[in-house]
Amino acid sequence: MRVKMRPDEAINGGYKKRSSNPDSEIWLQRMVEQGWTAPNWPKEYGGADLDKNEFVVLLEEMQRINARPPLVGMGVSMIGPTLLEYGTEEQKQRFLPPIAKGEASWCQGYSEPGAGSDLAGLQTKAVLDGDEFVINGSKIWTSSAAFADWMFCLVRTDPQAPKHQGISFFLLSMDSPGVSVKPIRLINGTSPFYQTFFDDVRVPRENLVHRINEGWEVGKRLLQHERSGLAALASADAAGPLERIKPGNDFAEMVNIYASLSDAELRDSWTDNEMIKQALLLTKRRVVEESEAKTPGAATSIFKYIEAEYVKRQLELQLKTRGTQGLGWNGETFSEEDISMGRLWLESKAISIAGGSNEVQLNIISKRVLGLPD
């Protein structure tokens, strides 16, 4: 568990898709016993009740031994922390322990064919019928929908109200009758996301989070948890995706030999990019320390923006340094790492779109962090 993790070895929670490496299960169980899959959650919900300082110590120790994250995904990173702030006691007891134990996996039902950056323009509807809401409509780009047990989603419950005020936040089982998913293929050959359809899907009233028509507030807070990248912290992988794209040892050596010695421009670019990463990690730490809440607010858009730029640039640099070896799709002339990096390079183009595009993050930073006028 101290060597670099391949994506298919991660555990996202739930049993529809599990790790390809049995050791990941043992690692997960050991961490669950300590409450360290969600270290700063209360013990009663599966966490370890660590305060901010203890949490930082744990992270540093995990990094020191190069430990892998035992559990990843939208449960620990997004809906868990949101329910801690907005859920009822009953919802916390019901949903949080299965997340912390890696027993339930979640997906995000936000975007729609006509609502991406303008998320509040969403049209999927819910109508109250007795003690249940009946949902109709569709969501798009739903990552991991086929393997998720649950979805958290934003749905319109008052079509007459101003657009931000008629939205509610629901939790729905992906096994409910009327839910179906269709894969969407990416340029790198994988299908990580889906279009999700709701056809008279019935959701019990107790699965509404916070108050009816006040879901926008909950939905926005969840996005801050998503953009903070602190999920990666909760899984003892402080640099998160930044570390996961790091090349293997052979490549690092090649960078040393060719880039650092012979090509001044490449050497400068590699150095610049590493400096950006160090500055980002320090900024993250400072913002977390300064914030009252466990996850900071609008400043998380800075993390999201810089991280996306760093990852894209890092992969561009890898491609440049590898030369033609970086363009392998398959075949014996390319190493497994060459091929996976080439595909990651293509996939990385999506990072500055997922979770809100870079332009949207810049809008948030100007208005909510720098206080510039609308």
Which residues contribute to the site for ligand FAD (CB under 6 A)?
107-111, 116-117, 139, 141-143, 193, 350, 353-357, 359-360, 363
Number of neighbouring beta carbons within 10 Å of residue 224: 23
Write down the residue that tokens 């950006």 correspond to.
276
Alpha carbon 328 to chain centroid, angstroms: 28
- Residue 244: closest CA among 3, 59, 4, 1: 4
Judged by CB, which is closer to ligand FAD: 214, or 347?
A: 347
Residue with Cβ nearer ligand FAD (92 or 227): 227
What minimum distance in Å lies between the beta carbon of 304 and ligand FAD? 11
Residue whose CB is nearest to ligand FAD in the complex, by number: 116
What are the helix and strand counts (H, E) for the chain?
Answer: 13, 8
Residue length of the chain:
374
Instruction: For residue 62, give Cα distances in angstroms to 7, 110, 120, 231.
Output: 19, 33, 39, 14
Nearer to ligand FAD, 143 or 176 (CB): 143
Contact present, 86 and 112 (Cβ < 8 Å): no
Task: Quote the distance between the C-alpha of residue 280 and its chain's center.
Answer: 17
Is 107 or 238 the residue whose CB approaches ligand FAD more closely?
107
- Structure tokens that stand for 247 in this block: 């090349």
H or E segment to which residue 237 belongs: none
Residue 143 or residue 291: which is nearer to ligand FAD going by CB?
Answer: 143
Q: Please give the distance of CA 300 from its chain centroid, rounded to a whole number.
A: 13
Least gap, CB of 169 to ligand FAD (angstroms): 13
Smallest gap from residue 267 Cβ to ligand FAD (A) = 31
**What is the dihedral angle through the alpha carbons of 343, 349, 352, 356, rounded to the nearest 10 degrees?**
-90
Residue closer to ligand FAD by CB (options 88, 191) is 191
**Is the CB of 63 or the CB of 188 nearer to ligand FAD?**
188
Residue 318 Cβ, how far from ligand FAD at the closest point, in Å? Answer: 19
Annotated catalytic residue, options 214, 226, 307, 347: 226
Q: How far is the CB of 309 from ligand FAD (least distance, A)?
A: 14
Residue 367: count other Cβ atoms within 10 Å of its Cβ: 14
Rounded to a whole number of angstroms, the minimum distance from the CB of residue 193 to ligand FAD is: 5
Question: Are 72 and 235 spatial neighbours (Cβ–Cβ below 8 Å)?
Answer: yes
Tokens representing 39? Answer: 């270290």
Active site residue 226: yes
User: Is 213 strand, coil or helix?
Assistant: coil
Ordered DSSP codes for 137-202: EEEEEEETGGG-SEEEEEEES-TTS-GGGSEEEEEEETTSTTEEEEEE--TTS---EEEEEEEEEE
> What is the nearest approach in angstroms of ligand FAD to the Cβ of residue 107?
6
- Return the bridge partners of 107, or none: 151
Return d(Cα 243, Cα 127) in angstroms, integer.
44
Residues catalogued as catalytic: 226
